[in-house]
Amino acid sequence: MVATYRRPSWLADLHQALSEMQRPPGGFEVVLVDDASGDGTWDVIRRLAEGSALRLRGVRLVANAGQGTARTIGVGQARGAVVAFTDDDCLPSEVWLVALAAPLLRALASGDDGAEGAATSLVVQGRTVAWPGDAGGAGAWARTIWVLRPSWLFETCNIAYRRDDILAVGGFAGRGDAPQGAHGRLVGEDALVGWAVMARGATLVFVPAALVYHRHHRASYWQFVADQRGRAVFPALVGCSPQARSAMWHRWFLARRTALFDLAVLTAAIGSIGRSRAWRWWWLGTVPWLWSAAGEARHRPGRPLAVRLVQLALADAVGGASLVGGSIRRRHLVI
């Protein structure tokens, strides 16, 4: 199931990748929801559906509802017991669906009963990496997604549920039920549905073989910095669900990287006292962040490592300040 909005140029490649996939027992259908794009998206979907060898169903919303509501409508249109999600900026691998759906199909076929007489609930995630085919032309600060281990953010680029589990929790959050970023796009609606399903007793399964490639979105360095302001929504997201703390690093930190940056800032503040020994503590506290950031800096070519580290430090400072501001406004601490 895919919800799309104003990305018609990528849909043909997505359709091609879906067409080349191995088919699980019983086959599969594709539900492609156009969230009232208002451009050429619906025409592309219609042409793909008319000429496709897949069972492809296009759904067109008359008004833009946001990706959460669009996915919920798509789930309502789906006819299978298992619903697998990817995004319009993704390219699933050949074995993706077979590998991703296998644990859910086995659970359904075994009749494994839970406390309420229903088949045991699973949430199945796959591995997501950057698509190498467009990396070279996207620039050093291109945006993409990596999911290399179980993630409690439940990104819809690569995840599968029982259809009944999604419907039981009311579907994905819509506008008014999930935080919105600076550009009005919902943030965390996929995490909220994952947390709700897990709260009902589901088990999270990670299948590395279920591989999806994520496209690169071109961005400048200053766009990258501006994007860090989006971290301000995470305290609001924590306020939406008691399960949210499970997605944080040690419950209070957005990620390990933000915790290391906080350590560097704290020791710098101690060092500012001006005593020589205090400055030694500052260097000691900075080393873990430098070590963590160096890996990302090396993967952003075009400038010396030292320049990239300074750029990442500025971006992390903007993100850290945004987290603090969001925590104060929402009264839920995430740093």
Can you give the residue ranges of every domain in the chain?
2-219, 222-335
* 120: DSSP letter: P
**CA angle 144-146-148, nearest 5°?**
175
Q: Is residue 326 over pLDDT 60?
A: yes
Q: Output 185 or 327, whichever has higher pLDDT.
A: 327
**What are residue 131's phi and psi, to 5 degrees?**
-75, 120
**Is the pLDDT reported for residue 102 higher than 50?**
yes
| Cβ(319)–Cβ(327) below 8 Å | no
Does the global pTM surpass 0.75?
Answer: yes
Helix (H, G, I), strand (E, B) or coil at 32: strand
For tokens 């989006």, what's the residue? 230
Q: Is 80 exceeded by the pLDDT of residue 79?
A: yes
For the domain 2-219, what is the CATH superfamily, name and number? Spore Coat Polysaccharide Biosynthesis Protein SpsA; Chain A (3.90.550.10)
Residue 116 predicted with pLDDT over 50: no
Average pLDDT of span 218-228 = 94
In this prediction, residue 89 has a pLDDT band, given cuts at 50, 70 and 90, of very high
Q: What is the pLDDT of residues 272-292, one digit of tens each?
A: 765 556 566 677 789 999 999
The confidence score (pLDDT) of residue 151 equals: 94
Provide mean pLDDT across the span 130-144: 87
Of the pLDDT bands very low, low, confident and very high (cuts 50, 70, 90), residue 118 is very low
pLDDT digits (tens, 9 = 90+) for 44-70: 999 999 999 999 999 999 999 999 999
Average pLDDT of the chain, as a whole number: 91
For 194, the token pair is 């994952």
Decide if pLDDT at 248 tops 70: yes
Whether pLDDT at 169 is above 50: yes
Instruction: With CA atoms as reference, report the closest residue to 124 among 39, 188, 210.
Output: 210
